[in-house]
Amino acid sequence: MNSIVLSSHDLSKQYRDGKRDVQVFEKIDFELRQGEAVAIVGSSGSGKTTLLNLLAGLDKASQGSVEIDGIAWHSLSDSKRSKLRNEKLGFVYQFHHLLPEFSALENVMMPLLIAGDNTAKAKGIATQLLTEVGLSSRLTHRPSQLSGGERQRVAIARALAQNPACVLMDEPTGNLDETTSLEIQDLILRLKREKNMAFLVVTHDEKMLSWMDRAYRLSNRTLEKIE
C-alpha cells in the first residue's frame, strides 16, 4: 500500500469569540496516501479552510496533531516548518494569486528561484511543467492574457514546481466553466497516476466527488465519510 503523506490525529480547533470559545471541529482523524485524491465538502462556515490551514501547518491546533511524511508540524521551529512546507506541499487556490506583471513561465519559475535554483535550471523545469499542463504555447503570456482555465493550469504548474508529495487545493474549479473544470479533472487524474502525487481538494463542487478516491463532509464538527 502507498505510504501516508499527510495525517491528523485527534485534531481539534476552537476560536475565542469575545468571551466564549467556538469549537470549529473536534477529534478529527484523517489520512492521505501517495497517489490518492480526496475531497472535503461542507457548507459555508463548516471549517474547511481552517482544516486545510491546520493540515498545511499554517495554523496551530487547539488539540491533537498533524503529521507530514511522519513529522509533526508542532515539533518544528517556524523556519523548519516553512522549509518542509515548501518541499512537501503545493498549493492551488481558487483565485490562483499569480503575479500579474510576470509571464506564465516566470510565475512558475518563482518558487524555484526562491528555493535557490539558478535561472537556467528554473527555466528548464518551469518550461517542462507548463508543457505537461498543455501550455507550451503560452509561456510568455501574462495572466491577463490567459483564460481562467489556463490561469488555473499555470497555478497547478507552479504548485508542482518543487515536486511536492501532496497538493492542497481550495476550490480549484470554483470559477471555471464545465469544460474547463473537466480539463482540470483530467490533469489531476494524470498527475496522480504518473507522479503518484496526493491531492486534497476542498470544494463546493459536488460533481468532483464522483472521480475522487474518497470524499468527506465536514459537518457537526466532525469529518464524515461520504459513501
Ligand X SMILES: Nc1ncnc2c1ncn2[C@@H]1O[C@H](COP(=O)(O)OP(=O)(O)OP(=O)(O)O)[C@@H](O)[C@H]1O
- The only residue of 42, 143, 164, 172 in contact with ligand X, by rule CB under 6 A: 42
Nearer Cβ to ligand X (107/181): 181
CB of residue 36 to ligand X, shortest distance in Å: 22
Q: Is 95 in the site for ligand X (CB under 6 A)?
A: no
Question: From the CB of 27, what's the least distance to ligand X, in Å?
Answer: 16
Rg (CA), the chain: 18
How many residues are there in the chain? 227
Our finding on whether 90 is near ligand X (CB under 6 A) is no
Q: Which three cell numbers stand for residue 193?
A: 497516476
Nearest to 161, CA basis, from 193, 96, 93, 115: 115
Considering only 44, 79, 118, 179, the residue that binds ligand X (CB under 6 A) is 44
Residue whose C-alpha cell reads 523548519 in the numeric block: 80
Does residue number 15 form part of the binding site for ligand X (CB under 6 A)? yes
How far apart are CB 56 and ligand X at their closest, in Å? Answer: 13
Q: Which three cell numbers stand for residue 181?
A: 473544470
Please give the Cα distance from 151 to 167 (Å, whole number): 17
Q: Per CB under 6 A, does 48 bind ligand X?
A: yes
If binding is defined by CB under 6 A, does position 50 make contact with ligand X?
Answer: yes
Among 190, 127, 125, which residue's Cα sits nearest to residue 163?
125
Give the span between the Cα atoms of 160 and 108, in whole angstroms.
Answer: 9
Residues contributing to the site for ligand X (CB under 6 A): 15, 17, 24, 42, 44-50
